[in-house]
């Protein structure tokens, strides 16, 4: 079952990196800064996040950059160890793959760019969302939530 974690993580990582390359470089969001897709529901807004979610702990320093890389690697390693040692059910393994794949996608961004490339901006119902995120962020969030709710489920004998 640990193969499931690997393959989910692999595809999350690949789709995340491909989406970032497509939007940041091919669609030139890096230069344009913004592209309205389906306003206000879906817009592309270039944001370089040197911190964690919503720009928390944002500092433009190498210590923070490498510290966040180390933290992501440490957490990913701990999740992999945990699901190997005490395997959850299928949904828990998928959740672990989502979290690890997303974390690795953001690690690569920090190594390549010095910050995480965020570009998805979604607003609704008269509320303007000032934040941007990426597919890796969504996978990390979904994976963490999945582990909270499904890590205790065991595979039926």
Inter-residue contact 34 to 43 (CB < 8 Å): yes
Q: In sequence order, which residues have a C-beta less than 8 Å from that of residue 80 and are 6 or more positions away? A: 2, 5, 96, 100
Q: In sequence order, which residues have a C-beta less than 8 Å from that of residue 112 and are 6 or more positions away? A: none
In whole angstroms, give the CA distance from residue 18 to residue 119.
13
In whole angstroms, give the CA distance from residue 77 to residue 144.
14
Q: Is 62 a catalytic residue?
A: no
Going across the sheet that includes 116-121, the strands are 34-38, 42-49, 116-121
Q: Is 16 a catalytic residue?
A: no
The pair of structure tokens assigned to 124 is 């609704």
Catalytic entry in 36, 62, 86, 137: 137
The pair of structure tokens assigned to 63 is 């210590």
Residues acting as catalytic residues: 118, 137
């Amino acid at each position: 079952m640990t193969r499931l974690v690997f393959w989910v993580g692999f595809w999350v990582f690949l789709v995340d990196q491909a989406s970032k390359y497509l939007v940041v470089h091919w669609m030139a969001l890096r230069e344009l800064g913004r592209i309205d897709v389906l306003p206000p529901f879906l817009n592309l807004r270039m944001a370089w996040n040197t911190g964690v979610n919503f720009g928390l702990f944002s500092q433009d320093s190498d210590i923070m950059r490498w510290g966040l890389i180390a933290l992501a690697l440490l957490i990913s390693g701990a999740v992999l160890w945990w699901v190997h040692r005490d395997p959850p059910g299928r949904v828990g393994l998928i959740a672990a793959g989502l979290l690890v794949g997303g974390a690795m996608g953001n690690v690569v961004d920090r190594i390549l760019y010095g910050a995480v490339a965020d570009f998805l901006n979604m607003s609704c119902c008269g509320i303007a969302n000032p934040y941007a995120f990426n597919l890796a962020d969504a996978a990390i969030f979904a994976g963490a939530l999945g582990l909270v709710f499904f890590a205790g489920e065991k595979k039926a004998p």
